[in-house]
Structure 1
Amino acid sequence: MNKSDSANDGAMDDLRQRWNHLYKHHLPGLAKTRDPVQGQWPVYLDHCFARIVLDNAIGIDKPWMEVIRQPAVKNMTEDQLRDAVDLAEKIATGELDLVSLDERSLQLRGKQKKKRKVEAKTEGNGTSKKKLRGDPTISTYFAPPPDSPFQGEDTKADTPANVVELGDESRKAAQEANPDMAAQVKRIADSNITTFRKQTLTLLCQVPRGRYSTYQAMSDHITKTSHKTCARAVGNAMRNNPFAPEVPCHRILAADGSLGGFNGSWGENGKFAGEKHKLLHEEGVRFSSSGKVKGPPFRDFT
Protein backbone atom coordinates (compact mmCIF):
# COMPACT_ATOMS: atom_id res chain seq x y z
CA MET A 1 0.00 0.00 0.00
CA ASN A 2 1.43 3.38 -0.98
CA LYS A 3 1.25 6.55 1.08
CA SER A 4 -1.64 7.92 -0.97
CA ASP A 5 -3.77 4.82 -0.37
CA SER A 6 -2.93 4.92 3.33
CA ALA A 7 -3.93 8.60 3.57
CA ASN A 8 -7.21 7.90 1.77
CA ASP A 9 -7.99 5.02 4.11
CA GLY A 10 -7.29 7.27 7.09
CA ALA A 11 -9.58 9.99 5.74
CA MET A 12 -12.38 7.46 5.19
CA ASP A 13 -11.97 6.07 8.71
CA ASP A 14 -12.19 9.60 10.14
CA LEU A 15 -15.35 10.30 8.13
CA ARG A 16 -16.95 7.03 9.22
CA GLN A 17 -16.18 7.79 12.87
CA ARG A 18 -17.60 11.28 12.50
CA TRP A 19 -20.75 9.98 10.81
CA ASN A 20 -21.30 7.30 13.46
CA HIS A 21 -20.81 9.86 16.23
CA LEU A 22 -23.24 12.35 14.69
CA TYR A 23 -26.21 10.08 14.07
CA LYS A 24 -25.70 7.65 16.98
CA HIS A 25 -24.79 10.09 19.76
CA HIS A 26 -24.69 13.80 18.98
CA LEU A 27 -28.06 14.32 17.29
CA PRO A 28 -30.00 12.01 19.66
CA GLY A 29 -28.32 13.80 22.58
CA LEU A 30 -29.46 17.19 21.32
CA ALA A 31 -32.98 15.87 20.73
CA LYS A 32 -33.30 14.37 24.20
CA THR A 33 -32.32 17.66 25.85
CA ARG A 34 -34.60 19.66 23.53
CA ASP A 35 -31.67 21.77 22.42
CA PRO A 36 -32.99 25.12 21.06
CA VAL A 37 -30.91 24.92 17.88
CA GLN A 38 -34.03 23.26 16.46
CA GLY A 39 -37.50 24.61 17.04
CA GLN A 40 -38.86 21.05 17.14
CA TRP A 41 -37.27 17.61 17.47
CA PRO A 42 -39.66 15.24 15.65
CA VAL A 43 -37.37 12.23 16.19
CA TYR A 44 -35.08 11.01 18.99
CA LEU A 45 -33.67 7.67 17.86
CA ASP A 46 -30.40 7.13 16.01
CA HIS A 47 -31.91 5.13 13.13
CA CYS A 48 -34.43 7.94 12.53
CA PHE A 49 -31.63 10.49 12.21
CA ALA A 50 -29.79 8.13 9.85
CA ARG A 51 -32.92 7.83 7.70
CA ILE A 52 -33.48 11.57 7.50
CA VAL A 53 -29.88 12.46 6.72
CA LEU A 54 -29.22 9.65 4.24
CA ASP A 55 -32.50 10.17 2.36
CA ASN A 56 -31.76 13.88 1.94
CA ALA A 57 -28.01 13.67 1.35
CA ILE A 58 -27.68 10.38 -0.56
CA GLY A 59 -31.11 9.36 -1.83
CA ILE A 60 -32.03 12.89 -2.99
CA ASP A 61 -35.15 11.85 -4.94
CA LYS A 62 -35.59 8.31 -3.57
CA PRO A 63 -34.91 6.38 -0.34
CA TRP A 64 -31.18 5.99 0.20
CA MET A 65 -31.35 2.16 0.09
CA GLU A 66 -32.22 2.43 -3.61
CA VAL A 67 -28.93 4.24 -4.22
CA ILE A 68 -26.42 2.29 -2.11
CA ARG A 69 -26.38 -1.05 -0.33
CA GLN A 70 -26.71 -1.51 3.40
CA PRO A 71 -24.96 -0.84 5.72
CA ALA A 72 -24.55 2.73 4.56
CA VAL A 73 -21.42 3.44 6.56
CA LYS A 74 -19.50 0.73 4.69
CA ASN A 75 -20.87 1.42 1.22
CA MET A 76 -20.90 5.21 0.98
CA THR A 77 -18.20 6.80 -1.17
CA GLU A 78 -16.01 9.50 0.33
CA ASP A 79 -18.13 12.21 -1.30
CA GLN A 80 -21.33 10.62 0.00
CA LEU A 81 -19.88 10.39 3.50
CA ARG A 82 -18.87 14.05 3.39
CA ASP A 83 -22.37 15.02 2.22
CA ALA A 84 -23.97 13.01 5.03
CA VAL A 85 -21.65 14.46 7.67
CA ASP A 86 -22.17 17.99 6.37
CA LEU A 87 -25.96 17.69 6.44
CA ALA A 88 -25.93 16.14 9.93
CA GLU A 89 -23.73 18.96 11.23
CA LYS A 90 -26.07 21.57 9.74
CA ILE A 91 -28.95 19.96 11.63
CA ALA A 92 -26.87 20.04 14.83
CA THR A 93 -26.19 23.78 14.47
CA GLY A 94 -29.67 24.77 13.32
CA GLU A 95 -28.65 25.73 9.80
CA LEU A 96 -31.21 23.28 8.38
CA ASP A 97 -34.72 22.59 9.67
CA LEU A 98 -35.04 18.99 10.91
CA VAL A 99 -38.85 18.97 10.60
CA SER A 100 -38.71 19.85 6.90
CA LEU A 101 -36.02 17.24 6.24
CA ASP A 102 -38.03 14.59 8.10
CA GLU A 103 -41.18 15.36 6.11
CA ARG A 104 -39.26 15.17 2.85
CA SER A 105 -37.76 11.80 3.84
CA LEU A 106 -41.19 10.42 4.66
CA GLN A 107 -42.59 11.68 1.35
CA LEU A 108 -39.81 9.88 -0.52
CA ARG A 109 -40.96 6.69 1.20
CA GLY A 110 -44.64 7.31 0.45
CA LYS A 111 -45.47 7.96 4.08
CA GLN A 112 -47.29 10.82 5.76
CA LYS A 113 -46.20 12.23 9.08
CA LYS A 114 -48.53 11.11 11.85
CA LYS A 115 -49.55 13.66 14.43
CA ARG A 116 -47.45 13.18 17.52
CA LYS A 117 -49.24 12.49 20.77
CA VAL A 118 -48.46 15.19 23.28
CA GLU A 119 -48.20 14.13 26.87
CA ALA A 120 -49.62 16.98 28.89
CA LYS A 121 -50.28 17.83 32.45
CA THR A 122 -52.90 20.30 33.59
CA GLU A 123 -51.77 23.11 35.82
CA GLY A 124 -53.79 24.89 38.44
CA ASN A 125 -55.01 27.50 35.97
CA GLY A 126 -56.42 24.84 33.65
CA THR A 127 -53.78 25.27 30.97
CA SER A 128 -51.63 22.45 29.69
CA LYS A 129 -48.01 22.24 28.75
CA LYS A 130 -45.82 19.58 27.16
CA LYS A 131 -44.17 17.13 29.47
CA LEU A 132 -40.54 17.33 28.47
CA ARG A 133 -38.44 14.18 28.38
CA GLY A 134 -35.57 15.98 30.01
CA ASP A 135 -34.51 19.36 31.33
CA PRO A 136 -32.61 21.14 28.52
CA THR A 137 -30.11 22.47 31.04
CA ILE A 138 -28.97 18.98 32.03
CA SER A 139 -25.89 18.30 29.94
CA THR A 140 -22.15 18.58 29.99
CA TYR A 141 -20.53 21.71 28.68
CA PHE A 142 -20.54 21.47 24.90
CA ALA A 143 -19.25 17.92 25.00
CA PRO A 144 -20.38 14.71 23.25
CA PRO A 145 -20.91 11.49 25.21
CA PRO A 146 -17.87 9.91 26.93
CA ASP A 147 -17.66 7.12 24.36
CA SER A 148 -17.33 9.58 21.48
CA PRO A 149 -14.02 9.70 19.57
CA PHE A 150 -14.47 13.47 19.46
CA GLN A 151 -14.12 14.49 23.08
CA GLY A 152 -15.36 17.77 24.55
CA GLU A 153 -16.91 19.23 21.22
CA ASP A 154 -30.80 27.67 3.41
CA THR A 155 -33.90 26.86 5.20
CA LYS A 156 -34.44 28.52 8.51
CA ALA A 157 -35.29 26.42 11.55
CA ASP A 158 -38.49 27.22 13.40
CA THR A 159 -37.92 29.48 16.37
CA PRO A 160 -39.01 28.13 19.78
CA ALA A 161 -41.80 30.21 21.25
CA ASN A 162 -39.72 31.15 24.29
CA VAL A 163 -36.73 32.42 22.30
CA VAL A 164 -36.77 36.21 22.18
CA GLU A 165 -35.89 37.82 18.87
CA LEU A 166 -32.99 40.24 19.17
CA GLY A 167 -34.22 43.80 19.01
CA ASP A 168 -32.53 47.12 18.32
CA GLU A 169 -31.57 47.56 21.99
CA SER A 170 -29.62 44.29 22.08
CA ARG A 171 -27.77 45.11 18.88
CA LYS A 172 -27.04 48.61 20.12
CA ALA A 173 -25.62 47.19 23.36
CA ALA A 174 -23.24 44.97 21.41
CA GLN A 175 -22.12 47.87 19.24
CA GLU A 176 -21.58 50.21 22.19
CA ALA A 177 -19.65 47.59 24.15
CA ASN A 178 -17.35 46.98 21.21
CA PRO A 179 -17.76 49.73 18.54
CA ASP A 180 -15.59 48.03 15.92
CA MET A 181 -18.10 45.17 15.88
CA ALA A 182 -20.95 47.24 14.41
CA ALA A 183 -20.46 45.80 10.93
CA GLN A 184 -20.33 42.25 12.30
CA VAL A 185 -23.54 42.75 14.30
CA LYS A 186 -25.26 43.86 11.10
CA ARG A 187 -23.92 40.82 9.22
CA ILE A 188 -25.42 38.57 11.88
CA ALA A 189 -28.75 40.42 11.89
CA ASP A 190 -29.05 40.26 8.09
CA SER A 191 -28.21 36.55 7.88
CA ASN A 192 -30.72 33.71 7.62
CA ILE A 193 -29.41 31.68 10.56
CA THR A 194 -31.75 30.76 13.41
CA THR A 195 -32.82 33.28 16.02
CA PHE A 196 -30.93 31.49 18.79
CA ARG A 197 -27.70 31.52 16.77
CA LYS A 198 -28.17 35.23 16.03
CA GLN A 199 -28.62 35.87 19.74
CA THR A 200 -25.52 33.88 20.69
CA LEU A 201 -23.24 35.27 17.99
CA THR A 202 -24.33 38.83 18.73
CA LEU A 203 -23.38 38.35 22.37
CA LEU A 204 -19.91 37.32 21.20
CA CYS A 205 -19.47 40.80 19.78
CA GLN A 206 -19.58 42.23 23.30
CA VAL A 207 -16.49 40.33 24.49
CA PRO A 208 -13.62 42.86 24.21
CA ARG A 209 -10.30 42.12 22.59
CA GLY A 210 -7.87 40.82 25.22
CA ARG A 211 -10.68 39.30 27.30
CA TYR A 212 -12.43 35.95 27.28
CA SER A 213 -15.75 34.58 28.44
CA THR A 214 -17.19 31.08 28.86
CA TYR A 215 -20.05 29.04 27.44
CA GLN A 216 -21.53 29.01 30.94
CA ALA A 217 -21.32 32.79 31.38
CA MET A 218 -23.13 33.30 28.09
CA SER A 219 -25.82 30.73 28.90
CA ASP A 220 -26.31 32.31 32.35
CA HIS A 221 -26.94 35.68 30.71
CA ILE A 222 -29.36 34.26 28.12
CA THR A 223 -31.25 32.30 30.79
CA LYS A 224 -31.53 35.39 33.00
CA THR A 225 -32.59 37.84 30.29
CA SER A 226 -34.32 35.81 27.59
CA HIS A 227 -35.04 32.09 27.90
CA LYS A 228 -33.73 28.95 29.54
CA THR A 229 -30.66 27.46 27.89
CA CYS A 230 -27.40 25.73 28.74
CA ALA A 231 -23.68 25.94 28.02
CA ARG A 232 -23.87 23.07 25.57
CA ALA A 233 -26.54 24.82 23.48
CA VAL A 234 -24.38 27.95 23.36
CA GLY A 235 -21.40 25.89 22.21
CA ASN A 236 -23.45 24.19 19.51
CA ALA A 237 -24.72 27.55 18.25
CA MET A 238 -21.13 28.74 17.82
CA ARG A 239 -19.73 25.48 16.49
CA ASN A 240 -19.94 26.45 12.82
CA ASN A 241 -19.62 30.22 13.11
CA PRO A 242 -19.94 31.56 9.53
CA PHE A 243 -18.53 34.94 10.56
CA ALA A 244 -15.29 33.78 12.23
CA PRO A 245 -12.80 35.07 13.13
CA GLU A 246 -14.32 38.58 12.94
CA VAL A 247 -17.14 37.43 15.22
CA PRO A 248 -14.83 36.08 17.93
CA CYS A 249 -15.98 32.62 18.99
CA HIS A 250 -12.31 31.96 19.85
CA ARG A 251 -12.77 34.21 22.90
CA ILE A 252 -15.10 31.67 24.55
CA LEU A 253 -13.54 29.01 26.80
CA ALA A 254 -14.77 26.16 28.97
CA ALA A 255 -16.13 26.92 32.45
CA ASP A 256 -13.02 25.46 34.11
CA GLY A 257 -10.72 27.87 32.25
CA SER A 258 -9.44 25.31 29.75
CA LEU A 259 -9.39 25.94 26.01
CA GLY A 260 -12.82 24.58 25.13
CA GLY A 261 -13.96 23.99 21.56
CA PHE A 262 -12.94 25.56 18.29
CA ASN A 263 -13.97 24.84 14.71
CA GLY A 264 -15.61 21.55 15.65
CA SER A 265 -12.79 20.09 17.77
CA TRP A 266 -12.35 20.17 21.54
CA GLY A 267 -9.56 20.77 24.06
CA GLU A 268 -5.79 20.98 23.88
CA ASN A 269 -5.61 17.93 21.65
CA GLY A 270 -8.15 19.30 19.19
CA LYS A 271 -7.16 19.77 15.57
CA PHE A 272 -7.45 23.56 15.78
CA ALA A 273 -6.26 24.12 19.36
CA GLY A 274 -3.06 25.80 18.17
CA GLU A 275 -5.00 28.24 16.02
CA LYS A 276 -7.26 29.20 18.91
CA HIS A 277 -4.27 29.69 21.22
CA LYS A 278 -2.59 31.86 18.57
CA LEU A 279 -5.61 34.12 18.16
CA LEU A 280 -6.00 34.54 21.92
CA HIS A 281 -2.29 35.15 22.49
CA GLU A 282 -2.22 37.86 19.81
CA GLU A 283 -5.08 39.58 21.66
CA GLY A 284 -3.33 39.39 25.04
CA VAL A 285 -5.05 36.41 26.70
CA ARG A 286 -2.59 34.22 28.62
CA PHE A 287 -2.67 30.65 29.93
CA SER A 288 -0.80 29.08 32.86
CA SER A 289 1.56 26.13 32.50
CA SER A 290 -1.32 23.88 33.59
CA GLY A 291 -3.38 24.97 30.57
CA LYS A 292 -5.83 27.21 32.47
CA VAL A 293 -6.55 30.76 31.40
CA LYS A 294 -5.37 33.65 33.58
CA GLY A 295 -7.79 36.26 34.87
CA PRO A 296 -11.58 36.28 35.37
CA PRO A 297 -14.05 35.75 32.53
CA PHE A 298 -15.99 38.61 30.96
CA ARG A 299 -19.56 38.55 32.24
CA ASP A 300 -20.75 42.11 31.61
CA PHE A 301 -23.17 41.20 28.86
CA THR A 302 -26.02 43.64 28.33
Structure 2
Amino acid sequence: MEELRQKWKTLYAQELPAMAKAKDEKQNWPIHLDHCFARIIMDNAVGKDKPWTEVVKSPAIKHMSEQQLKDAIKLGESIADGSEDINPLNERSLKLRGKSGPGRKRKVIAQDDAADKKTKRSESSNISTYFLPSPALPKKEIPPDETLVTAQDLEIDVQLKRIADSKLTPFRKQILSMLCQIPRGRYSTYQAMSDYITNTSHKTCARAVGNAMRNNPFAPEVPCHRILAADGTLGGFGGHWGEEGKFADRKHELLKEEGISFDSRGKVKGPPFRSFSRTASNAGR
Protein backbone atom coordinates (compact mmCIF):
# COMPACT_ATOMS: atom_id res chain seq x y z
CA MET A 1 0.00 0.00 0.00
CA GLU A 2 2.81 2.42 0.81
CA GLU A 3 4.35 1.82 -2.61
CA LEU A 4 0.98 2.53 -4.26
CA ARG A 5 0.54 5.71 -2.19
CA GLN A 6 3.95 6.99 -3.18
CA LYS A 7 3.35 6.15 -6.84
CA TRP A 8 0.02 8.01 -6.78
CA LYS A 9 1.51 11.00 -4.96
CA THR A 10 4.39 11.28 -7.43
CA LEU A 11 2.04 10.99 -10.40
CA TYR A 12 -0.47 13.71 -9.50
CA ALA A 13 1.86 16.00 -7.56
CA GLN A 14 4.99 15.95 -9.74
CA GLU A 15 4.72 14.27 -13.12
CA LEU A 16 1.39 15.60 -14.40
CA PRO A 17 1.92 19.22 -13.22
CA ALA A 18 5.38 19.20 -14.79
CA MET A 19 3.99 17.91 -18.08
CA ALA A 20 1.26 20.56 -18.06
CA LYS A 21 3.66 23.40 -17.36
CA ALA A 22 6.00 22.13 -20.07
CA LYS A 23 2.96 22.00 -22.42
CA ASP A 24 3.60 18.38 -23.31
CA GLU A 25 1.93 17.70 -26.65
CA LYS A 26 0.11 14.60 -25.40
CA GLN A 27 -2.65 16.80 -23.97
CA ASN A 28 -4.30 20.19 -24.35
CA TRP A 29 -3.82 20.88 -20.66
CA PRO A 30 -6.71 22.79 -18.97
CA ILE A 31 -5.00 22.93 -15.55
CA HIS A 32 -1.51 22.71 -14.07
CA LEU A 33 -1.84 22.65 -10.26
CA ASP A 34 -1.33 19.40 -8.35
CA HIS A 35 -4.60 19.51 -6.42
CA CYS A 36 -6.52 20.05 -9.68
CA PHE A 37 -5.06 16.83 -11.11
CA ALA A 38 -5.98 15.03 -7.90
CA ARG A 39 -9.54 16.38 -8.14
CA ILE A 40 -10.04 15.36 -11.76
CA ILE A 41 -8.58 11.88 -11.42
CA MET A 42 -10.20 11.04 -8.10
CA ASP A 43 -13.64 12.36 -9.09
CA ASN A 44 -13.57 10.13 -12.17
CA ALA A 45 -11.76 7.07 -10.82
CA VAL A 46 -12.94 7.03 -7.20
CA GLY A 47 -16.05 9.20 -6.91
CA LYS A 48 -17.34 8.12 -10.33
CA ASP A 49 -20.88 9.52 -10.03
CA LYS A 50 -20.12 12.04 -7.25
CA PRO A 51 -17.19 14.11 -5.93
CA TRP A 52 -14.52 11.89 -4.37
CA THR A 53 -14.95 13.73 -1.07
CA GLU A 54 -18.33 12.00 -0.70
CA VAL A 55 -16.74 8.58 -1.08
CA VAL A 56 -13.36 8.74 0.68
CA LYS A 57 -12.53 10.36 3.99
CA SER A 58 -9.81 13.02 3.99
CA PRO A 59 -6.83 12.74 3.88
CA ALA A 60 -7.60 10.66 0.80
CA ILE A 61 -4.11 9.27 0.35
CA LYS A 62 -4.40 7.63 3.76
CA HIS A 63 -7.95 6.31 3.42
CA MET A 64 -8.09 5.15 -0.23
CA SER A 65 -8.34 1.39 -0.64
CA GLU A 66 -5.84 -0.59 -2.67
CA GLN A 67 -8.26 -0.80 -5.60
CA GLN A 68 -9.03 2.91 -5.45
CA LEU A 69 -5.32 3.71 -5.53
CA LYS A 70 -4.83 1.39 -8.50
CA ASP A 71 -7.79 2.94 -10.34
CA ALA A 72 -6.48 6.46 -9.71
CA ILE A 73 -2.96 5.52 -10.85
CA LYS A 74 -4.30 3.81 -13.97
CA LEU A 75 -6.32 6.87 -15.00
CA GLY A 76 -3.44 9.21 -14.19
CA GLU A 77 -1.05 7.17 -16.32
CA SER A 78 -3.58 7.17 -19.17
CA ILE A 79 -3.65 10.97 -19.00
CA ALA A 80 0.15 11.07 -18.96
CA ASP A 81 0.53 8.87 -22.05
CA GLY A 82 -2.27 10.66 -23.91
CA SER A 83 -4.60 7.68 -24.22
CA GLU A 84 -7.23 9.47 -22.08
CA ASP A 85 -8.25 13.06 -22.86
CA ILE A 86 -8.11 15.13 -19.67
CA ASN A 87 -10.54 17.80 -20.90
CA PRO A 88 -13.79 15.77 -20.78
CA LEU A 89 -12.63 14.32 -17.47
CA ASN A 90 -12.19 17.85 -16.13
CA GLU A 91 -15.61 18.93 -17.40
CA ARG A 92 -17.20 15.88 -15.81
CA SER A 93 -15.49 16.61 -12.50
CA LEU A 94 -16.66 20.22 -12.58
CA LYS A 95 -20.20 19.12 -13.43
CA LEU A 96 -20.23 16.73 -10.47
CA ARG A 97 -19.31 19.70 -8.29
CA GLY A 98 -21.89 22.04 -9.85
CA LYS A 99 -19.24 24.24 -11.47
CA SER A 100 -20.10 23.67 -15.11
CA GLY A 101 -23.10 24.11 -17.35
CA PRO A 102 -25.02 26.78 -19.31
CA GLY A 103 -23.96 30.31 -18.41
CA ARG A 104 -20.93 29.08 -16.49
CA LYS A 105 -18.53 28.12 -19.26
CA ARG A 106 -15.05 27.91 -17.84
CA LYS A 107 -12.23 29.36 -19.91
CA VAL A 108 -9.65 27.30 -18.07
CA ILE A 109 -7.29 26.77 -21.00
CA ALA A 110 -7.00 30.49 -21.71
CA GLN A 111 -6.55 31.22 -18.01
CA ASP A 112 -3.83 28.62 -17.68
CA ASP A 113 -1.98 29.94 -20.73
CA ALA A 114 -2.15 33.46 -19.30
CA ALA A 115 -0.85 32.28 -15.94
CA ASP A 116 2.04 30.45 -17.60
CA LYS A 117 3.07 33.58 -19.54
CA LYS A 118 3.13 35.60 -16.32
CA THR A 119 5.31 33.03 -14.52
CA LYS A 120 7.85 32.51 -17.33
CA ARG A 121 10.07 35.26 -16.01
CA SER A 122 13.38 34.93 -14.25
CA GLU A 123 12.84 34.85 -10.50
CA SER A 124 15.19 35.36 -7.57
CA SER A 125 16.58 32.15 -6.11
CA ASN A 126 15.51 33.16 -2.59
CA ILE A 127 11.82 32.73 -3.44
CA SER A 128 10.22 29.37 -2.67
CA THR A 129 10.00 27.09 -5.72
CA TYR A 130 6.26 26.95 -5.05
CA PHE A 131 5.92 30.29 -6.83
CA LEU A 132 7.86 29.18 -9.91
CA PRO A 133 6.77 27.09 -12.93
CA SER A 134 8.19 23.62 -13.54
CA PRO A 135 9.70 23.69 -17.06
CA ALA A 136 10.05 19.93 -17.41
CA LEU A 137 9.62 16.60 -15.69
CA PRO A 138 11.76 16.10 -12.59
CA LYS A 139 15.22 14.81 -13.52
CA LYS A 140 15.77 13.05 -10.24
CA GLU A 141 13.55 11.46 -7.69
CA ILE A 142 12.43 13.82 -4.93
CA PRO A 143 12.45 12.43 -1.39
CA PRO A 144 8.92 11.76 -0.03
CA ASP A 145 9.11 14.58 2.53
CA GLU A 146 9.74 17.12 -0.23
CA THR A 147 6.97 15.94 -2.56
CA LEU A 148 4.38 18.58 -3.42
CA VAL A 149 0.98 17.50 -2.18
CA THR A 150 -2.22 19.33 -1.48
CA ALA A 151 -3.05 20.68 1.97
CA GLN A 152 -6.34 18.76 1.92
CA ASP A 153 -4.53 15.43 1.55
CA LEU A 154 -2.10 15.87 4.43
CA GLU A 155 -2.61 15.61 8.14
CA ILE A 156 -1.84 18.71 10.18
CA ASP A 157 0.53 16.74 12.39
CA VAL A 158 2.73 15.91 9.40
CA GLN A 159 3.18 19.58 8.58
CA LEU A 160 3.67 20.56 12.20
CA LYS A 161 6.48 18.04 12.47
CA ARG A 162 8.15 19.41 9.33
CA ILE A 163 7.97 22.89 10.82
CA ALA A 164 9.15 21.79 14.27
CA ASP A 165 12.13 19.92 12.81
CA SER A 166 13.24 22.90 10.74
CA LYS A 167 15.90 25.45 11.68
CA LEU A 168 13.49 28.38 11.54
CA THR A 169 13.16 30.78 14.46
CA PRO A 170 10.55 29.98 17.14
CA PHE A 171 8.38 32.88 15.96
CA ARG A 172 8.39 31.73 12.34
CA LYS A 173 7.57 28.20 13.48
CA GLN A 174 4.61 29.54 15.44
CA ILE A 175 3.29 31.50 12.46
CA LEU A 176 3.64 28.64 9.99
CA SER A 177 2.03 26.24 12.46
CA MET A 178 -0.99 28.53 12.70
CA LEU A 179 -1.36 28.49 8.91
CA CYS A 180 -1.93 24.74 9.07
CA GLN A 181 -5.18 25.33 10.95
CA ILE A 182 -6.87 27.40 8.23
CA PRO A 183 -9.26 25.09 6.34
CA ARG A 184 -9.32 24.86 2.56
CA GLY A 185 -11.90 27.35 1.28
CA ARG A 186 -11.28 29.79 4.15
CA TYR A 187 -8.88 32.68 4.63
CA SER A 188 -7.48 34.65 7.54
CA THR A 189 -5.56 37.91 7.88
CA TYR A 190 -2.21 39.08 9.19
CA GLN A 191 -4.06 41.11 11.81
CA ALA A 192 -6.19 38.17 12.97
CA MET A 193 -3.05 36.12 13.48
CA SER A 194 -1.22 38.88 15.32
CA ASP A 195 -4.28 39.51 17.52
CA TYR A 196 -4.36 35.86 18.52
CA ILE A 197 -0.65 35.75 19.35
CA THR A 198 -0.84 39.01 21.30
CA ASN A 199 -3.80 37.72 23.33
CA THR A 200 -2.37 34.27 24.07
CA SER A 201 1.39 34.49 23.92
CA HIS A 202 3.31 37.74 23.42
CA LYS A 203 2.84 41.13 21.82
CA THR A 204 3.32 41.27 18.06
CA CYS A 205 1.93 43.05 15.00
CA ALA A 206 0.59 42.28 11.54
CA ARG A 207 3.83 43.39 9.88
CA ALA A 208 5.85 40.93 11.95
CA VAL A 209 3.45 38.15 11.00
CA GLY A 210 3.83 38.99 7.31
CA ASN A 211 7.61 39.07 7.55
CA ALA A 212 7.60 35.64 9.20
CA MET A 213 5.76 34.19 6.19
CA ARG A 214 8.21 35.45 3.58
CA ASN A 215 9.70 32.69 1.45
CA ASN A 216 7.62 29.99 3.13
CA PRO A 217 9.74 26.82 2.62
CA PHE A 218 6.78 24.48 3.12
CA ALA A 219 4.29 25.89 0.61
CA PRO A 220 1.76 24.87 -0.56
CA GLU A 221 1.17 22.33 2.22
CA VAL A 222 1.54 25.18 4.72
CA PRO A 223 -0.86 27.61 2.98
CA CYS A 224 0.48 31.16 3.29
CA HIS A 225 -1.65 32.09 0.26
CA ARG A 226 -4.73 31.96 2.52
CA ILE A 227 -3.62 35.07 4.42
CA LEU A 228 -5.01 38.43 3.26
CA ALA A 229 -4.78 42.04 4.39
CA ALA A 230 -7.02 43.22 7.25
CA ASP A 231 -9.18 45.27 4.85
CA GLY A 232 -9.96 42.17 2.77
CA THR A 233 -7.60 42.96 -0.10
CA LEU A 234 -5.06 40.53 -1.49
CA GLY A 235 -2.11 41.30 0.77
CA GLY A 236 1.36 39.93 0.11
CA PHE A 237 2.68 36.91 -1.73
CA GLY A 238 6.18 35.75 -2.55
CA GLY A 239 7.76 38.89 -1.12
CA HIS A 240 5.54 41.29 -3.11
CA TRP A 241 2.45 43.23 -2.04
CA GLY A 242 -1.01 43.93 -3.43
CA GLU A 243 -2.68 43.63 -6.81
CA GLU A 244 0.40 45.05 -8.53
CA GLY A 245 2.68 42.46 -6.95
CA LYS A 246 4.63 40.08 -9.15
CA PHE A 247 2.71 37.05 -7.88
CA ALA A 248 -0.76 38.60 -7.42
CA ASP A 249 -2.30 36.62 -10.28
CA ARG A 250 -0.95 33.36 -8.90
CA LYS A 251 -2.37 34.06 -5.44
CA HIS A 252 -5.78 34.88 -6.95
CA GLU A 253 -5.63 31.66 -8.94
CA LEU A 254 -4.89 29.53 -5.89
CA LEU A 255 -7.62 31.18 -3.82
CA LYS A 256 -10.16 30.82 -6.63
CA GLU A 257 -9.36 27.11 -6.95
CA GLU A 258 -10.17 26.75 -3.25
CA GLY A 259 -13.48 28.61 -3.53
CA ILE A 260 -12.47 32.03 -2.19
CA SER A 261 -13.81 34.95 -4.24
CA PHE A 262 -13.46 38.74 -4.35
CA ASP A 263 -15.98 41.45 -5.20
CA SER A 264 -15.63 44.14 -7.89
CA ARG A 265 -13.68 46.34 -5.46
CA GLY A 266 -11.07 43.66 -4.90
CA LYS A 267 -12.34 42.81 -1.40
CA VAL A 268 -12.68 39.21 -0.29
CA LYS A 269 -16.14 37.81 0.38
CA GLY A 270 -16.95 36.28 3.76
CA PRO A 271 -15.45 36.61 7.26
CA PRO A 272 -11.86 35.65 8.12
CA PHE A 273 -10.95 32.50 10.00
CA ARG A 274 -10.05 33.30 13.61
CA SER A 275 -10.48 29.98 15.42
CA PHE A 276 -6.82 29.36 16.03
CA SER A 277 -5.85 26.77 18.62
CA ARG A 278 -3.17 27.32 21.26
CA THR A 279 -2.05 23.69 21.03
CA ALA A 280 -1.45 23.76 17.29
CA SER A 281 0.03 27.23 17.21
CA ASN A 282 2.59 26.29 19.83
CA ALA A 283 3.37 22.93 18.26
CA GLY A 284 5.95 24.40 15.95
CA ARG A 285 8.03 25.81 18.80
TM-score above 0.5, yes or no: no
Higher Cα Rg: structure 1 or 2?
1
Q: TM-score, normalised by structure 2?
A: 0.44
Q: TM-score, normalised by structure 1?
A: 0.41
